[in-house]
Amino acid sequence: MAVDLITLSKFGGPDVCVGAYVLDTQRAVVITMLARQTVLATGGAGKVYLYTSNPDVATGDGIAMAYRAGAEIANMEFYQFHPTVLYHPQAKSFLISEALRGEGGVLRLDDGTAFMKKHHPMADLAPRDVVARAIDFEMKRTGEDCVWLDMTHHTADFLRQRFPNIYAECIRWGIDMTERPIPVVPAAHFCCGGVDTDASGERPSRASWRSERPPARGSTAPTAWRATRCSRAWCSARGGALHAEAGTGPWPEVPDWDIGKAAPSDEAVVITQNWDEVRRLMWNYVGIVRTNRRLERAQRRIALLQEEIREYYWKHLVTQDMLELRNIATVAELIVASALCRKESRGLHYTLDHQETEPTLARDSVVKRGVGAHLR
């Protein structure tokens, strides 16, 4: 697992990426990997939220590493939430397709009340973001842990044939969708922000992390590329192929990872506690519907958690769990900072304090280490 990108600026050189420090999880040692080309293809960041459709590895590692290396991160406030993920204490990340609502599925409260008609004229066929906000509103209003997607008006044969995978997964967890509604909850689905790049996926669209700058005396510059999900570019594979043969100069001198006085941890509970706290506060304060007060509370608490995480990080040998916790805390910080700087509701960012979309604010939110967040 990657620990951090290696930039020569850390050692008094130019601001270019030349590889990464990587944790060998089997041997529990950090190794130095130098590279002419470095591709960030680390996936999304859904695990920053309590409920997500993403796999466990989606901890925003590429975004967090790029931010620590000095890259600009853009539009992190825009996070798409899928309205219906299976709610079960042991089931993870299983999407209940929106096709069920397309086939007449009805969202209901615990007492059986259908609620979507009061939120949108299209009721259960409303757009995804509207449905997610409606479910979030009803869960917060009633205090219920989930809502229910009712398909029982269809015959059992129809449901088994039309939705065989969903039927089988529900049965696996003791839920027969032919006889009772399916418990569902909205979940973080798609991170629409990320590392700011140009169309080739190489460098930021404005100079902030100049990967084309030569490392020394005219030798070819190692380059950092960002691939889909952790970046805002969709062409990084093509761009990387165009430069695959680049880089024949001497390798830079980079020191190996220094563990200093770090020791094995005897307090792993710190990781599990902080992991749960980050994800829960992000869900409650920085979720589908936001307010300035909730965002400010989240910002204060994330800052306190990051102090604990930094202290733990420097005192103990790194582990995969430690690195993932560090990264989701960084991603949480970026989402909150981006959301606070956008004083409007736009697309997937919806705030009760600024419910209108302001044409003059149709700009990117940008966060850079040491600079803060602003609209550009």
Q: Could you state, in order of their start, the residue ranges of all structural domains in the chain?
A: 2-50+60-72+191-242, 80-189, 269-375
At residue 100, the pLDDT reads 97
HSE, side-chain direction, 13 A CA sphere, residue 29? 5
Residue 376 CB: number of other CB atoms within 10 A? 11
Tell me whether residue 201 is exposed, middle or buried, using C-beta atoms within 10 angstroms of its C-beta: 0 to 12, 13 to 18, 19 or more.
Answer: buried
- Number of helices (H), then strands (E), in the chain: 9, 13
128 is catalytic: yes
356 within 8 A of 344, measured Cβ to Cβ: yes
CATH number of the domain at 80-189, out of 3.90.1140.10, 3.90.1150.10, 3.40.640.10, 3.90.700.10? Answer: 3.90.700.10
More confident residue, 209 or 312: 312
Residue 157 CB: number of other CB atoms within 10 A? 9
Condensed to tens digits (0 to 9), the pLDDT of residues 29-54 reads: 999 999 988 888 888 999 999 999 99
At residue 266, the pLDDT reads 82
Q: How far apart are CA 325 and CA 266, in angstroms?
A: 17
At residue 339, the pLDDT reads 98
Q: How does residue 89 score in pLDDT terms, banded at 50, 70 and 90?
A: confident
At residue 92, the pLDDT reads 83
Exposure string of 158-197, with b = 16+ CB inside 10 Å and e = fewer, is ebbeebeebbebbeeeebebbeebbbbbbbbbbbbbbbbb
Condensed to tens digits (0 to 9), the pLDDT of residues 292-345 reads: 999 999 999 999 999 999 999 999 999 999 999 999 999 999 999 999 999 999
For residues 192-213, give the mean pLDDT: 60
Q: How far apart are CA 286 and CA 332, in angstroms?
A: 9
Instruction: With a cut of 80, say whether residue 151 has pLDDT above it.
Output: yes
317 within 8 A of 263, measured Cβ to Cβ: yes
Q: How far apart are CA 46 and CA 231, in angstroms?
A: 14
At residue 203, the pLDDT reads 58
> Catalytic: which of 36, 101, 128, 206?
128
Sign of CA dihedral 139, 145, 186, 282: positive
Q: How far apart are CA 358 and CA 310, in angstroms?
A: 38
Q: How far apart are CA 146 and CA 182, in angstroms?
A: 10
Return the CATH fold of 269-375.
Methane Monooxygenase Hydroxylase; Chain G, domain 1 (1.20.58)
Condensed to tens digits (0 to 9), the pLDDT of residues 274-292 reads: 999 999 999 999 999 999 9
More confident residue, 157 or 218: 157
Condensed to tens digits (0 to 9), the pLDDT of residues 103-132 reads: 999 999 999 999 999 999 999 999 999 999
For residues 8-36, give the mean pLDDT: 93
pTM above 0.75, yes or no: yes
The residues pairing with 19 across neighbouring beta strands, listed in sequence order, are: 34
Crossing angle of the two packed helices 269-285 and 320-341, in degrees rounded to 10? 20
Residue 265 CA from chain centroid, whole number: 27
Joined together, the tokens standing for residue 103 give 């086939």
Instruction: With a cut of 90, say whether residue 187 has pLDDT above it.
Output: yes
Q: How far apart are CA 374 and CA 367, in angstroms?
A: 7
Residues 335, 340, 346: CA angle, nearest 5 degrees: 85
Q: How does residue 243 score in pLDDT terms, banded at 50, 70 and 90?
A: very low
The residues pairing with 147 across neighbouring beta strands, listed in sequence order, are: 184
Tell me whether residue 62 is exposed, middle or buried, using C-beta atoms within 10 angstroms of its C-beta: 0 to 12, 13 to 18, 19 or more.
Answer: buried
Return the CATH fold of 2-50+60-72+191-242.
FAD/NAD(P)-binding domain (3.50.50)
Q: How far apart are CA 179 and CA 175, in angstroms?
A: 9
More confident residue, 23 or 211: 23
At residue 247, the pLDDT reads 59
Do the domains 269-375 and 2-50+60-72+191-242 match in fold?
no
Query: If you search the block for the tokens 């130095």, which residue do you land on?
Result: 32
Name which of 193, 201, 198, 195 is nearest 225 in CA terms.
Answer: 201
Q: How far apart are CA 111 and CA 241, in angstroms?
A: 57
In angstroms and rounded to an integer, the radius of gyration of the C-alpha atoms of the chain is 23
Condensed to tens digits (0 to 9), the pLDDT of residues 346-375 reads: 999 999 999 999 999 999 999 999 999 999
The average confidence (pLDDT) of the chain is 88
The residues pairing with 188 across neighbouring beta strands, listed in sequence order, are: 52, 81
CA distances to 160, 166, 178, 179 from 157, rounded to whole Å, are: 5, 14, 9, 12
